[in-house]
Amino acid sequence: MGEGTGTGLMAAEAASPDSQPARLPYGRQSIDEADIAAVVEVLRSDWLTCGPAVDRFEAALASACRATHAVAVSNGTAALHLAMRAAGLGPGDRVLTCANTFLASANAAEYVGATADFADIDPATRCLSLESLRAAWKNDVKAVVAVDFAGYPCVTQEMADWIHARGALVIEDACHAIGSRRDGFPVGGLPWVDMTAFSFHPVKTLTTGEGGAILTNEAKWADSCRLNRSHGMVRAPAGAGPAARPYTMEVPGYNYRLTDLQCALGLSQLRRLDAFAARRREIVARYNEAFGSWLHVRTPQAPGEVSVAWHLYALQIDFAAIGTTRAAAMDALRALGIGTQIHYYPVHLQPYYAGRYGYAPGKCPAAELWYAQTLSLPLYPALTDADVERVIGAVAQVAGPRA
């Protein structure tokens, strides 16, 4: 090992100069003994799927979010797909989503034959804003998929009212945002939002392994999601005569069910949601304190009307101004045992969307600049204070103020 890097490593890990410290990923699940016991209990029961744990998880989720209905499904992508189906979207309809998101926010519109289109971000929130929606609006927009990037609950009542006034629905992609609040309402239960989609993938704030849910206050949308979650089957009422069909099907649905094993894990995780959110906030506060004054670096902020259960810690760094590139910074951090990620490559520039609709660079300039400058650092409840200081020290070495 070269002398220079050796010295750097020694300085960073004075406590254990001989052993490589554990590599810190950018995100990971927190599973405790209660989670394990909850899953084992289901394994010993009669119901592995379609059983009582599903109802219990849905009831607990609806209650936690103060929503009327929760429908548990196999993943967040399925939740978005079923929301598109419930909204009755199809060919000829346009669905506007955020350029700074995971693929699924847009792909769900394509599944039902609608056209996915993209609006830019507000550079302050990294999410859609009323202004960016106004700029991207077209008369055939029938729904907005508003993405709560990093957990920031971006749907204001003003934004929702504006969308509704144009005859379109508001679907909140809250896959990052369980546990966040706006104006005192938990995400999932914002009264001005039509349907909310959650993901319970292990990298998200609460996990069921794979999993997702749709939350809504409208019975007709919840019913549609339940129907389509399980093949579009309607069971014959109990006591129907022997000649009756066991079930009928009027729409070809899917198998998007979540198992009882997963729902039991979700129920157990839900009990720790407040603790998860609090620890995430604590870590973000420490990071912001450390990086807040650095030149060429912008930290994530949340104004008073929102409380953010941060899912990601995504910094904005002007790598050119500090004389490096993001790739070099990521390599250097990896060498120091710090995993990082990029959220997100603008979805309108993905080959499918660029090819199909001719979306090109310049369509969403703020999201494109954000992509060029963003870097997500490790953020999850199991990070210790010492881990957090290690991350800060490593980032200081790689992208910090030059002496």
Ligand X SMILES: *Cc1c(COP(=O)(O)O)cnc(C)c1O
Residues classed as catalytic: 204
What is the distance between the alpha carbons of residues 304 and 249, in angstroms, rounded to a whole number? 48
User: Between residue 31 and residue 70, which ones bind ligand X under the rule CB under 6 A?
Assistant: none
Q: Which residue is nearest to ligand X (CB)?
A: 76
What is the distance between the alpha carbons of residues 40 and 89, in angstroms, rounded to a whole number? 40
Pick 75 or 340: Cβ nearer ligand X: 75
Binding region for ligand X (CB under 6 A) out of 129-137, 171-179, 222-230, 361-369: 171-179
What is the distance between the alpha carbons of residues 156 and 168, in angstroms, rounded to a whole number? 15
Binding region for ligand X (CB under 6 A) out of 32-40, 51-59, 74-82, 116-124: 74-82
Which three-class secondary structure state does DSSP give residue 366?
A: helix
Side chain identity, residue 82: L
Pick 205 or 268: Cβ nearer ligand X: 205
Binding mask 130-169 for ligand X (x = CB under 6 A): -----------------x----------------------
The alpha carbon of residue 370 and the mean position of all alpha carbons in its chain are separated, in whole angstroms, by 17
Pick 208 or 268: Cβ nearer ligand X: 208
Number of residues that bind ligand X (CB under 6 A): 14
Told to check if 229 binds ligand X by CB under 6 A, we report no
Pick 76 or 186: Cβ nearer ligand X: 76
Which three-class secondary structure state does DSSP give residue 262?
A: helix
Shortest Å distance, C-beta 15 to ligand X: 35
Pick 77 or 180: Cβ nearer ligand X: 77
Q: What is the DSSP string of 204-253?
A: SSS--SS-EEEEES-HHHHHHHHHHHBTTEEEPPTT--TTS-SEEESS--
CB 149 within 8 A of CB 176: yes
Told to check if 390 binds ligand X by CB under 6 A, we report no
User: Between residue 172 and residue 211, which ones bind ligand X under the rule CB under 6 A?
Assistant: 173, 175-176, 199, 201
Which three-class secondary structure state does DSSP give residue 199?
A: strand
Shortest Å distance, C-beta 336 to ligand X: 27
User: Between residue 75 and residue 134, which ones bind ligand X under the rule CB under 6 A?
Assistant: 75-77, 101-102, 104-105
Side chain identity, residue 369: L
Shortest Å distance, C-beta 132 to ligand X: 17
Which three-class secondary structure state does DSSP give residue 316?
A: strand
Question: How do beta strands 169-173 and 141-147 pair?
Answer: parallel
CB 108 within 8 A of CB 145: yes
Shortest Å distance, C-beta 152 to ligand X: 12
Pick 21 or 209: Cβ nearer ligand X: 209
List the Cα angle 129/135/136 in 5-degree steps. Answer: 90
Shortest Å distance, C-beta 121 to ligand X: 13
CB 269 within 8 A of CB 208: yes
- Cα dist from 159 to 95, 144, 155, whole Å: 16, 10, 6
Pick 127 or 383: Cβ nearer ligand X: 127
Shortest Å distance, C-beta 9 to ligand X: 33
CB 340 within 8 A of CB 26: yes
Task: Look at the chain and count its residues.
Answer: 403
Binding region for ligand X (CB under 6 A) out of 71-79, 188-196, 218-226, 287-295: 71-79
Told to check if 212 binds ligand X by CB under 6 A, we report yes
Shortest Å distance, C-beta 38 to ligand X: 20
By CB under 6 A, name the binding residues for ligand X. 75-77, 101-102, 104-105, 147, 173, 175-176, 199, 201, 212
